[in-house]
Amino acid sequence: MEYLENRELSWLKFNKRVIDEAVAPENPLLERLSFSAIYQSNMDEFFMVRVGSITEDAKSHKKKDGKSGMSPSQVLDVIFTTVRRQQVCTEEAYHKTFAELAPFGFEHVSFNNASPEEQAFLELYFKREIKPFISGMVINDKLPFPFLKNKELYVAVQLSAKKDIAIGIIPVSHENSQRIISLGKGGKRFILEEEVIMQFAHLMFKGYKVQDRTVMRITRSADIMASGRGAQFRERMEELVIKRSKLSAVRLEITGEFSRQALDYICRKLKLKNDRVFSSHIPLDLSYLYQLQELDPDPQLHFAPRLPVKSASLIESRSVFSQVKAKDILLAYPFESMTASFIRLLEESAQDPKVVSIKITLYRLARNSKVISALCTAAENGKEVLVMIELRARFDEANNIEWSKILQKAGVRVIYGPKEYKAHSKLLLITRKAQSGGYDYVTQVGTGNYNEKTSRIYTDLMLLTADRTIAADASKVFDSLVAGSFVPDPAKLLVSPLALRPQILAMIDDQIAIARNGGEGYVAAKINSLNDGTIIRKLVEASQAGVKIELIVRGICCIVAGVPGYTDNITVRSIVGRFLEHSRIFIFGAEGASQKIYIGSADFMSRNTVRRVEVAAPVEDEKLKKQIREMFATLMADNVKARVMLPDGSYVHAEPAEGEERINAQEVLFDKAAERLHEKQIKQERLRKNREKGAAEKAKKSVAKKSPAPKKPRKKKSADNDAAD
């Protein structure tokens, strides 16, 4: 269909928006380098996961993709063509940024451009600091081909041979490895270690003549999936994490040009076709660019500092639990502090003698997680602590395996969720004894992980509520996770895989009915990705019925907006900025009493809606609904970091109209969070002064009331008065 786009091609368009940030003039220069590194990291994961999966589909001759009409092999062809085209943009961004950084002293030096003195220094450095720690391997048909680790750098050389071919391979990484080799200016003028090794590779192969050389890097498939529930599941996952590092190669990257004969030989040994070889004229691993950030504190090279503020919704002198019991609270990250809100709630609950149980789902955690610390403390204090930790969280499997062991050691009951389904929900339920003799509950439903690090760089929302119906739904979710089953009929929450998509479709149907009856039908969503075919078809139906649909989709979007006759009433925006847009918001209905707003962990992807356990919660407090509407409106008004999708599926920058102010939504939302806190502080100061003034006046009146009234002195009679008497 002309209003559909292939998932992988849509993702590549998203990553193109990322590399566009590497040349965006409003971004400081060192921050632009970070976007180049992010682009490359994204591409690595794309090849490991998606290309790895599609490669397997191609081998098994799977059917054509319903959205694009292409077979897996055709999709791979288009992917490789697009990636090569985008590589040009990546290289241009890298060179352009370094050219602009030159006045600040930054220079990535090639060996040939180094001065004679620097070249002599580098030769000595190689012999003393590198060569003793590395070794070269000679490969030919008589010798086994070595295992090349995923994403590791290697120097490859073609060696002279009497017959056939000989290849030399040198691993770059070693125990004394130092990627950036300083040539002056505090490390700003530098060369990379792999470039030095490549330059002096001939010294590693005595008796051979080096005919050609390059740096290379292998990307291996990471497409692993395991099912299971019991104690043996963790052992199975540990085995799979080890196995993943040895999965088949899906890409070979090289620097510059390299001998076709040698390249063909390496590809044959790796069982790779030539179309899987990608040449680059910039470093193959750009992760080192983050280190450059620390070399110059000049403010014009960095984003202005933006620190989370304490939430204006919370009072420091009162427990978080008691405040949530009084009213629903909405928290927004990174604009507000997770430590001063959610972590505080967990730590208070761990110590509160009246809290009897804490139940939580965990997906990705910070390295030194305060969440884990609080949960362990709670268990050690005798509370019932149930943790559903997802061992299949991609690339966090090993971390979560270790966290599960730590939690169990502390006395926490650890479970792993349904056998065939990941649990991606962000759900917390705290139960506390009430003074009445019963129990009070606080339920938290969020859009992002319980991760203090990412809470400072991802935009997410978190709802805290004492609603007893929501607590009952949350309890059902945890019971189902323990049992390995699913919740079929929650009262308020949306819970996949059984009770999220049907409710989403029903609420869109409500808006279709309103529009067909002459009313104002409205649907809005802010999500990371959209590829659920059932939801897409319903959105098209709604558009055709006249429902206004506003979508903010950061990444994959398989619906094309503005296609005549199909998606005329749909607009799609993508925001790629300083912070990763990660929050999910669903809005059904125009502003008014009947409008429904949800936040949750699910994207509109089939993997989320029908193949995972996800939870979304209704936002029912009118003040909080207004806050979310204003947030969504701010994002829709962004004309600095937003891109708008055109009917051909391409994206263009949202430009301010003539005379219109420039709006960077993320900056605006930071300012609004600070303003809310400032207004609260002013209000509290005013109340404090009024209380002090009232107390002073009350004390004054009290003193006056207790003290007897002074007697009036008698007047002394004058002589005239005496005579008159």
The mean-pLDDT minimum among 226-230, 336-340, 516-520 falls in 226-230
The mean-pLDDT minimum among 148-162, 503-517, 624-638 falls in 148-162
Determine the pLDDT at residue 580.
Answer: 97
Q: DSSP for 16-55, please give it.
A: HHHHHTTS-TTS-HHHHHHHHHHHHHHHHHHIIIIIHHHH
625 or 688: which leads in pLDDT: 625
How much is the average pLDDT of 519-542? Answer: 98
Distance CA 461, CA 585 (A): 9
How much is the average pLDDT of 614-630? Answer: 97
pLDDT confidence bin for 717, thresholds 50/70/90: very low
704: its two tokens:
């006056």
* Strand segments (E) across 392-547: 413-415, 422-423, 427-433, 439-446, 458-465, 494-495, 522-527
Q: Render pLDDT for 425-461 as a digit per residue (tens, 0 to 9).
A: 999 999 999 988 899 999 999 999 999 999 999 999 9
Q: What are phi and psi of 511, to 5 degrees?
A: -70, -30
* Strand segments (E) across 543-669: 548-553, 570-575, 580-581, 585-588, 596-600, 612-613, 615-618, 642-645, 651-653
pLDDT at 601 over 80: yes
Question: Do residues 410 and 349 make contact, with C-beta atoms less than 8 angstroms apart?
Answer: no
| Residue 236, helix vs strand vs coil | helix
pLDDT at 626 over 60: yes
Distance CA 137, CA 259 (A): 18
Q: Render pLDDT for 544-585 as a digit per residue (tens, 0 to 9).
A: 999 999 999 999 999 999 999 999 999 999 999 999 999 999
Q: Render pLDDT for 344-370 as a digit per residue (tens, 0 to 9).
A: 999 999 999 999 999 999 999 999 999
Residues 6+ apart with CB under 8 A from 485: 418
Task: Indicate the average pLDDT of the chain.
Answer: 93
Q: What are phi and psi of 120, to 5 degrees?
A: -65, -40
pLDDT at 719 over 50: no
By C-alpha distance, which of 325, 367, 316 is closest to 344?
Answer: 316
Under DSSP, the state recorded for 478 is H
| Residue 661, helix vs strand vs coil | coil
pLDDT confidence bin for 338, thresholds 50/70/90: very high
**In this prediction, what percent of the chain has a pLDDT beyond 90?**
83
In sign, the C-alpha dihedral spanning 647, 652, 658, 663 is: positive
Distance CA 597, CA 622 (A): 10
The mean-pLDDT minimum among 72-76, 577-581, 655-659 falls in 655-659
Distance CA 361, CA 228 (A): 17
Q: What are phi and psi of 259, to 5 degrees?
A: -45, 125
Distance CA 256, CA 393 (A): 36
pLDDT at 69 over 90: no
Active site residues: 424
Domains for the chain: give ranges and CATH numbers. 1-103 (1.20.58.310), 105-226+249-272 (3.30.1840.10), 320-489 (3.30.870.10), 495-672 (3.30.870.10)
How much is the average pLDDT of 451-473? Answer: 98
Q: Render pLDDT for 477-508 as a digit per residue (tens, 0 to 9).
A: 999 999 999 999 999 999 999 999 999 999 99
* Strand segments (E) across 519-671: 522-527, 548-553, 570-575, 580-581, 585-588, 596-600, 612-613, 615-618, 642-645, 651-653
Bridge partners of 251, per DSSP, are 219
Distances (CA, A) of 380 to 219, 373, 409: 44, 11, 10
Determine the pLDDT at residue 62.
Answer: 72
Determine the pLDDT at residue 32.
Answer: 97
Determine the pLDDT at residue 711.
Answer: 58
Determine the pLDDT at residue 290.
Answer: 96
pLDDT at 725 over 80: no
How much is the average pLDDT of 28-55? Answer: 96
Bridge partners of 215, per DSSP, are 155
Question: Do residues 662 and 639 make contact, with C-beta atoms less than 8 angstroms apart?
Answer: yes
How much is the average pLDDT of 152-165? Answer: 90
pLDDT at 404 over 80: yes
Determine the pLDDT at residue 723.
Answer: 34
Distances (CA, A) of 298 to 31, 105, 190, 293: 12, 12, 19, 10
Residue 694: how many other CB atoms lie within 10 Å: 10
Determine the pLDDT at residue 243.
Answer: 83
Determine the pLDDT at residue 663.
Answer: 97
How much is the average pLDDT of 683-707? Answer: 79
Q: What are phi and psi of 213, to 5 degrees?
A: -150, 155
Q: Render pLDDT for 196-223 as a digit per residue (tens, 0 to 9).
A: 999 999 999 988 999 999 999 999 998 7
Distance CA 383, CA 76 (A): 52
Determine the pLDDT at residue 235.
Answer: 87
The mean-pLDDT minimum among 52-66, 67-81, 296-310, 475-489 falls in 52-66
Bridge partners of 615, per DSSP, are 495
* Strand segments (E) across 390-491: 413-415, 422-423, 427-433, 439-446, 458-465
Question: Do residues 387 and 375 make contact, with C-beta atoms less than 8 angstroms apart?
Answer: yes
Determine the pLDDT at residue 226.
Answer: 77
Question: Do residues 12 and 86 make contact, with C-beta atoms less than 8 angstroms apart?
Answer: yes
Q: What are phi and psi of 152, to 5 degrees?
A: -85, 150
How much is the average pLDDT of 414-428? Answer: 94
Bridge partners of 159, per DSSP, are 166, 210
C-alpha neighbours within 13 Å on the C-beta side of residue 684: 12
Distance CA 649, CA 562 (A): 9
Q: What are phi and psi of 396, to 5 degrees?
A: -115, 10
